[in-house]
Amino acid sequence: MHVAAPFLRSLSALGEERGARRLLGLGIGALLLAGWCAFAALARVPVYAVSERARLEVEAMTHPLEASRPGRVARSALELGRAVNLGDVLVELDATVDDLRVREEEARISALERQVEAARSQRAAESDVAKATSRYAKLSLEQAPARMREAETGRKLAEEEARQLQELRKTGAAGEIELLRAKSEAERRRAETDVLGLEPGRMRADTQTRESAARARAEGVRRDLASLEGDLALSRATLARIQRERELLTLRAPVAGTLADVAELRPGRVLREGERVASVVPAGRLRTVAELTPASAFGRVRAGQKARMRLDGFPWTEFGVVELQVARVAGEVRDGRVRVELEVLSMPRTVGAIEHGAPGVVEIEVERPSPLQLLLRAAGRRLGAPADPPQ
């Protein structure tokens, strides 16, 4: 009996100690559960939309250098990383055929110019002849009345002399021969007067004939000159076209910048029309261009959101990340991706000079939900997923 009482008391003490521990454990568990619930409901977890492809680009557009015409390479000055100025000659294609065409057309133009000059001189000469003919005809018509009056005076004088000789012949003072001579002279004077009376009409008809012939010659010269001038204009246009085509055989820098993506061109290589041989990257600020899936971009990525870029080849734990901000989001899907342009806020100081084209991965912070919201979303996606078909 004396032994059982202490034993019972020991069992009771042990039971009380286990109850206290249980209560303490339950209290700690309740506190942890309350803390986790508070964390799940109140904490905020950043959610990122991750790009499938991304790279750094200059804000100014990169200009491709392409062959505008097919041809054989004669000389190439392409060198990766070379700084170029606007209009620098970078590639020259063989232009032997075009040079021959240029010289042929120049010779044709020179011959046509001489013919046009001769036709213009002939037109001026014809114009001078027509003017001189007109002046001569006008002067002749003005002189016709004077000659008519002169002839009329001579006729009257001859008739008066014949009349007087006729009177003298009756008295025997004048001989038969003298009378015949006087009558003949009077007849000649009358005939001359009649001819001079017709002269103005003949002169007008002759003037009209000459003027018609002059107009016909002038019209012919005008047609010839117009044809020559048309041929000359066509040849000049052809020469300009050939020279333009000749210029296309010379590839020049479209902008000032640095050569990138340079193809290896050796003399003799044949380029196809539109074949890209290099790119010219102009100087300017860098931006980031990322491509995201439509599901991760539409309705989630907006201008002004913060982002970061981890550069390929530069571990972010060592070199850091590029801090970005969303500038523009494309409203259309292209090749199954959505283009997002981001402004560079800061570059990692531990990274050296970062150039155009550096690739990486962009993470855009699209929201900060609570862990409970994430858990409910995951459960909803799980419950909404189609069931596996029976085997």
Question: Per-residue pLDDT tens for 333-350?
Answer: 888 899 999 998 888 775
The pLDDT score that the predictor gives to residue 1 is 45
Is 63-94+249-278 a CATH 2.40.50.100 domain?
yes
pLDDT classification of 376: cutoffs 50, 70, 90: confident
385 or 363, greater pLDDT: 363
pLDDT band at 100 (very low <50, low <70, confident <90, very high): very high
Question: Residue 373: pLDDT above 80?
Answer: no
- CB atoms near residue 161 (< 10 Å): 18
Q: What is the mean pLDDT of residues 366-374?
A: 76
| Mean pLDDT comparison of 123-132, 164-173, 214-223, 370-379, highest-scoring range | 214-223
Nearest to 278 by CA among 72, 57, 71, 76: 76
Higher pLDDT, 92 or 22: 92
CATH number belonging to the domain at 40-59+284-378, selected among 2.60.450.10, 1.10.3720.10, 2.40.30.170, 3.40.50.620: 2.40.30.170
Distance CA 104, CA 246 (A): 14
Three-class SS string for the chain?
CCCHHHHHHHHHHHHHHHHHHHHHHHHHHHHHHHHHHHHHHHCCCCEEEECCEEEEEECCCCEEEECCCCEEEEEECCCCCCEECCCCEEEEECCHHHHHHHHHHHHHHHHHHHHHHHHHHHHHHHHHHHHHHHHHHHHHHHHHHHHHHHHHHHHHHHHHHHHHHHHHHHHCCCCHHHHHHHHHHHHHHHHHHHHHHHHHHHHHHHHHHHHHHHHHHHHHHHHHHHHHHHHHHHHHHHHHHHHHHHHCCEEECCCCEEEECCCCCCCCCEECCCCEEEEEECCCCEEEEEEECHHHHCCCCCCCCEEEEEECCCCHHHHCCEEEEEEEECCCCECCEEEEEEEEEECCCCCCCCCCCCEEEEEEEEECCCHHHHHHHHHHHHHHCCCCCCC
The yes-or-no verdict on residue 54 having pLDDT over 60 is: yes
Given a cut of 90, whether residue 109 has pLDDT beyond it is yes
| Nearest of 88, 93, 77, 109 to residue 263 by alpha carbon | 77
Cβ atoms within 10 Å of 325's Cβ, excluding its own: 15
